[in-house]
Chains A and B, each alone.
Chain A
């Protein structure tokens, strides 16, 4: 394949682009699998919290209803957005969130 690529110049790049597209698809399959694998862990935690006496918050429906529709929107968006950019945006948000939490808790912010 690489011999042919060198012979035809751009052929090699086209081959690499196909590899990248495959990686992108596989990465998105992994994201989708991650959602399914976290579901049972979440269910166990919810049951345990409720059994432990943590009361059900009064305004829970304000979060649950948008979450239901947001989840569907996210699943469709996964098809459209590059996983590379998705990871970058999310990483920056998570760093901001983590640092904010530490600063607030330690009284700096």
Chain B
């Protein structure tokens, strides 16, 4: 096994760990695949999606037994998301790779900034006068 193969396995393992935690990670693997592994954008996207199927399925074995999952919300998100994913992947088939990368980069940066500086509303906020 050469160094490139070891880096590839390590990248997949650590980004899968992030995916398993539910904070993302798939986006990071996509960056590794396009910037460092020199895969074409569409091949990288497919690898990334299949990678996520494996990572999330295995993590769910643990989550289902340990965490309180809100199945009603999950069902709504999954239905809406699946519909969006269908149109998204249809669009990706014909879209230019360069434009896809810039859009992805923009979304990643924006979501990172919002997540870092955005103040999430905690339960009980605005209820401190009781």
Contact = CB atoms under 8 A, between A and B. Distances in A.
Given A29-B67, A36-B74, A64-B54, A46 B29 contact: no
A100 B106 CA distance: 10
Given A60-B50, A94-B112, A45 B89 contact: yes
B108 A75 contact: no
Contacts of A29: 67-70
B82 A40 contact: yes
A: interface residue count bin? 35 or more
B20 A35 contact: yes
16 contacts: A23-B122, A32-B69, A41-B82, A44-B82, A68-B57, A69-B58, A70-B14, A71-B55, A72-B62, A75-B66, A78-B63, A94-B112, A97-B28, A99-B109, A100-B35, A102-B102
A66 B15 CA distance: 10
A77 B17 contact: yes
B3 to A, nearest CB: 13
